[in-house]
Amino acid sequence: MDAMRLIVASRRALAHGAGVPELMTEVWQAQALAQAIGSRLAVSGPPELRGEALGLTELAGRGCGVLDTPDLDPGTLRAAQLTELDDARLTLLSLGGLLGEVGIALVGMASAAADEATYWQCMEAIDAADESRDRVLEMLRKLAAREEVHDG
């Protein structure tokens, strides 16, 4: 499935998450999708993005690692459905938006956390989402610089 469709599905699911367990699952799904997109860009993306894409893969993996792994059927894991990444710029713009929404959802969950473990899990996931988003923004900057060179 195309990366853009998966990002849209993740954004929709995150927006409609009802309780903490559902939101945590959607945050995990979004980080796993960011990891898959980073991997795809590292292998077959523009050469100037490969280092940042590897960094995104590592950071998003850390974002998954700090959260409890949800019990998902293999067919519902969005990251595993990634087959196409046609437009790196558009994908990264949308992924950056998704990661921003993940951070907002995590802040809300941390603020309402009933226990200290959930609070700290959210705080670590916020850091990972924020750093992942920084990598996405850096890749967008590099794409813009590349376009300036080609246009100039």
pLDDT above 80 (res 152): no
Question: Is residue 26 within 8 Å of 112, Cβ to Cβ?
Answer: no
SS3 2: strand
Please tell me whether the overall predicted TM-score, pTM, comes out greater than 0.85 for this model: yes
pLDDT at 148: 83
| pLDDT above 80 (res 150) | no
User: pLDDT tens-digit profile of 60-77?
Assistant: 999 999 998 999 988 899
Which two structure tokens, joined as six digits, stand for 136? Answer: 């996405």
For residue 79, give the DSSP letter.
Answer: G
Report the greatest alpha carbon distance in the chain. Answer: 55
Structure confidence by residue, pLDDT tens digits, 117-132: 999 999 999 999 999 9
The CA distances from residue 116 to 18, 133, 135, in Å, are 21, 26, 29
Q: For the segment 91-149, what is each residue's pLDDT rounded down to a tens digit?
A: 999 999 999 999 999 999 999 999 999 999 999 999 999 999 999 999 999 999 988 87
Per-residue model confidence (pLDDT) at position 131: 97
- 35-69: pLDDT as tens digits: 999 999 999 999 999 999 999 999 999 999 999 89
pLDDT of 17 strictly over 90: no
Helix, coil or strand: residue 53: helix
Residue 18's pLDDT is 81
Report H helices in 16-115. 20-44, 50-65, 88-111
6 neighbors 82 (Cβ within 8 angstroms): yes
Distance CA 4, CA 6 (A): 5
What tokens appear for 54 in the block?
């590897």
151: pLDDT confidence band, cut at 50, 70 and 90?
Answer: confident
Nearest to 105 by CA among 27, 21, 34: 27
pLDDT of residue 11: 97
How far is Cα 122 from Cα 79, in angstroms, rounded to an integer? 21
Name the residue among 118, 95, 76 with its Cα closest to residue 35: 95
Tokens of 23: 């939101």
Q: Is the pLDDT of residue 31 over 80?
A: yes
